[in-house]
Amino acid sequence: MKRHLTLILILIFLLSSCSLFQKEPDPSELYTPTPVPTNTPLPEPRVMVTEVPNPTLAAEAFLKAWQEENYVEMFNMLCQVSRDSVDFEYFQKRYNDTAVAMTLKSLGYEITSALTGPNSSQVAFHVTFDTVLAGTLSRDNLMDLVLEAGTWKVQWQDTMIMPELEPGNRLVMDIQVPTRGTIYDRNGVALAYQTRAYAIGVVPAQVPSVYWSNLINELSRLTGKTPQVISELMNHSEPTEYLVIGEVTADKMEERYSYLWDYDGVYVTEYTAGRYYTEGGIGVHMIGYVLPISAEEAEDMQRQGYRVDERIGSLGIESWGQEYLAGKRGASLYVVDAEGNTLDRLSRTEAEASYSIYTTYDEQFEYDLQRAVNGLNAAVVVLERDTGRVLGMASAPGFDANLLDFNNYNSFFSGNLLYNNDRPMYNRATQGQYPLGSVFKIIGMAAALETGIYDINSTYECGHYWNELDGIELHDWTLDHEVAPSGTLTLAEGLMRSCNPWFYKIGKELYQQVGPDALSGMARAFGLGSLTGIGELEEEPGNVDTPNEVFAAVQLGIGQSTLLVTPLQVARFVAAIGNGGTLYRPQVVEQIVDAAGNVVTAFEPEAQAQLPVTPEHLQMIQDAMETVVRNPRGTAYSSFINTKYEIHAKTGSASTNTGLNSNAWFAGYTNEGMPDKPDIAIAVLAEFAGEGSEVSVPIFRRVIELYFEGQARSLYGWETGVYITKTPSPTPTNTPTPRPTRAPWEIVPEEEEDEG
């Protein structure tokens, strides 16, 4: 017995020892609660006591995830029963569809009370929906939670989104879209608006040759296109295929419909133009165009309050001014059942008319500007010198914005504008980035004067060749043109003669005496290498690198190397030279007007920077630019002998390193001081066209005539008449084929023919 008793005592002792050395359980291993936000420290948990999870914190986390539209996290918080009854796809779609239908911008929430039980709880919460079209909607709601494995989980049901959303119910927004606002020129001529229109096309082979000339003249009167342009179109088309001529408004067509009816081979198709662009787009690269909402952007646009069948601005003013032009949509938000029956209307707002936008340019001047560069790959920019107003901007080739309306029958025969090799939808004036060539010598002259390495009377021998870098021989333009070297020139005369050796020298000396960034820094101060801030239009910044070795600096001296600029940047800095040194932000919007005629916003000049050039040096540059035009030795003298206007300018021909001709430049400004005709700055660029003096100078001269006189008076060297080239295509000799009674797409059964 004593032995047994001893064994029992030993066993008890051993068991007690085990319990003494056993690690006590960590409450956090049983459950780690989310800390309650408070400034008061929580009491330390007692040993062996498990803290009860807080259902309010679980509800808070669920609502926070909803606010962030984190549907994955929300779904992971559901209890097992809820996850078994609804899958994630349904759950996510339910929330997302509701947000889209109500045009939800943001969601706010507040937990108002909670009832907590051992295994189940109920949390009351208040939700605020801030929407685009339905205003602010608020709902009080309940959330049931159950305790699973020590964690509170949400027992979900559809009505947790909104009490009205019983299973099968959904929200539907009925949207009323106001008519899109009109875009006008500065004088109130409509450029983009909604109207009835007609598409015009011709099958050339069906037009009897005896009527060919008369038809072309009639189409010219109707569309505004010159007879030559229409003739070129017809001559270069497949004779038996439908040829797009253009579009006109219904009232214009109905005035001359009877004249067209007698011609075989002519087809007209009426359509309702949600957006009609005058003459295919007067200033089309500035106005832009509208396109249907794509499938990829549909949901985002719906959240912004748009219907998926709308067309929205996709370029230029149409895109920039979307908010003004779209107006405020009217909307009613309904709850409907699974069969589409209306159960309740939750909100209603009235539509408000859209605003109209007036451009800074005149319709007729812009139309003539476009014709001035027709047939070239070119760009021209005209700025009001002292304000930054864009008075004209043309990029060629252009395109007919009406062809982007799929209600227009002509759109099916227009080809692919986006992938056309000539890139007609690309705005060369603001997005084209080109080497500047000799126009850059203006900046070189400024840098030479401001750094003090040369003064206005410094001279240099301008020969055919330049050999101041070991192993490198560069030459002057006079060598290429087989004319005598310019000889000894002052700095001002160097600009007048566009002497390459003078500016090779300037590039070299600035690099070696002042520093690598001396010339490129001046270029940046003139606004190159950065955006102009035009805002309403898409633009590119160009490129101004700091030379990393002397040869690059020499090349930069004549506007080559890696330098890239846009025509808009050039017009802007040339305007600054003429106005006393102020770089203005270019603008294309004159004013925005509401439906009642109140001016919401109006153009104001916006000075952005001042050229780092003293008034004295600026005057020297201005005088030198005038000699380019007025001095018999100036590179543009012969083109302006009979021009009465005071012009300060610079020629340029920039190598493209492509094996093709140089890009032709000419840029300058006027100094007339007329009260009714503000002075202008102009930049002209013609791609791969050769010498600036031969191509861009005549275009510049025509722009001057159009602006000051309202019509072109001088011919280009390649014209026999204004807008008529010297080599028109011959008249076609195709044998005409019979014309069908109706257009091929309009053929009707024989019994209906007499009714048409």
CATH at 720:
3.40.710.10
State whether 388 and 338 are in the same domain.
no
488-504 pLDDT, tens per residue? 999 999 999 999 999 99
Residue 373 lies in a domain: no
Q: What is the pLDDT of residue 51?
A: 56
> Model confidence over 391-414: pLDDT tens digits?
999 999 999 999 999 999 999 887
Instruction: Read off the CATH number of the domain in which 154 is found.
Output: 3.10.450.100
pLDDT (mean) for 30-56: 49
Query: For residues 321 and 354, is the Cβ–Cβ distance under 8 A?
Result: no
Nearest residue to 247 via CA among 277, 283, 289, 217? 277
Grade residue 655 by pLDDT with cuts at 50, 70 and 90.
confident
What's the pLDDT score for residue 607?
98
Confidence (pLDDT) at 580:
97
CATH number at residue 240: 3.90.1310.10
DSSP-derived letter for residue 608 is E
Choose the final residue of a domain: 167, 196, 227. 167
Q: Predicted confidence band at 751 (pLDDT cuts at 50, 70, 90)? A: very low
In this predicted structure, the answer to whether residue 676 has a pLDDT above a threshold of 70 is yes
Domain-embedded: residue 36: no
pLDDT at 574 over 80: yes
- Which of 689, 620, 680 lies closest to 646 in space, CA to CA? 680
Percentage, residues of the chain above pLDDT 70: 88
Residue 371 inside a domain? The answer is no
Q: Please, which pLDDT band fits residue 656 given cuts at 50, 70 and 90?
A: confident
Q: Residue 660: what pLDDT? A: 75
User: CA 150, 155, 157 angle in degrees (round to 5)?
Assistant: 170
Q: Which pTM value belongs to this model?
A: 0.84
* First-residue to last-residue Cα distance in the chain: 128
Q: Is residue 522 domain-shared with residue 643, that is, in the same domain?
A: yes
Residue 422 lies in a domain: no
71 and 142 fall within a common domain = yes
**156 and 239 both lie in a single domain:** no
**238-284 residue pLDDT tens:** 889 999 999 999 999 998 888 888 899 999 999 999 899 999 899 99
Residue 749 has pLDDT above 90, yes or no: no
Q: Determine the average pLDDT of the residues in 198-221.
A: 92
pLDDT of residue 726: 59
* 218 in any annotated domain: yes
Lowest average pLDDT, out of 164-178, 262-276, 320-334, 645-659, goes to 645-659
Q: The tokens of 106 are what?
A: 């943001």
Pair 308, 293: CB distance under 8 Å: yes
Q: Render pLDDT for 527-537 as a digit per residue (tens, 0 to 9).
A: 999 999 999 99
Tokens 């153009």 locate to 603
Q: Do 277 and 295 reside in the same domain of the chain? A: no
| pLDDT value for 745 | 31
Let me know whether 718 and 688 are in one domain: yes
> Does 50 have pLDDT greater than 80?
no
245 shares its domain with 299: no
- pLDDT, tens only, 352-376: 999 999 999 999 999 999 999 988 9
Q: Which of 167, 198, 216 is the last residue of a domain?
A: 167
275-314: per-residue pLDDT in tens? Answer: 999 998 999 999 999 999 999 999 999 999 999 999 999 9
Residue given tokens 């956090």 in the structure block: 28
Mean pLDDT of 332-355: 96
Whether the per-residue pLDDT at 7 is higher than 70: the answer is: no
Indicate whether 409 belongs to any domain.
no
Residue 40 lies in a domain: no
Give mean pLDDT, residues 604-609.
Answer: 97
Q: Is residue 734 part of a domain?
A: no
CA 708 – CA 391 distance, rounded (Å): 13
**Mean pLDDT along residues 591-610:** 97
Query: What letter does residue 514 receive in the DSSP assignment?
Result: I
**Looking at the predicted structure, is the pLDDT value of residue 43 above 50?**
no
Residues 191, 268, single domain; the answer is yes
Give the mean pLDDT of the chain.
88
Residue with tokens 């088309």: 237
Q: Alpha helix (H) ranges present in 344-471?
A: 363-372, 441-451
pLDDT at 57 over 80: yes
CA 641 to CA 643: how far, in whole Å?
Answer: 6
pLDDT category of residue 52 using cuts at 50, 70 and 90: low
- The tens digit of pLDDT for each residue in 71-98 reads 999 999 999 999 999 999 999 999 999 9
Res 258: pLDDT: 85
Give the count of domains, the chain. Answer: 4
**What is the rounded average pLDDT of the residues 9-14?**
43
| Phi, psi at 584, each rounded to 5° | -100, 150
Contact 396, 695 (CB under 8 A): no
Task: Supply the range of the domain harboring residue 144.
Answer: 55-167
Q: What is the pLDDT of residues 108-160, one digit of tens each?
A: 999 999 999 999 999 999 999 999 999 999 999 999 999 999 999 999 999 99
Are 567 and 716 contained in the same domain? yes
> Helix axis angle, 441-451 relative to 518-525, nearest 10°?
110
Choose the weakest-confidence range: 98-107, 324-333, 387-396, 692-701: 692-701
Place of tokens 């107003």: 389
Question: Do 276 and 298 belong to one domain?
Answer: no
Q: How many CA atoms lie within 13 A of 391 on its CB side?
A: 24
Residues 477 and 570 in one domain: yes
- State which of 358, 373, 389 marks the end of a domain: 358
Q: What percent of the chain has pLDDT over 90?
A: 76
DSSP letter string, 684-720: EEETT---TTTTHHHHHHHHHHHHHHSS--S--TTEE
Looking at the structure, do residues 233 and 97 belong to the same domain, yes or no? Answer: no
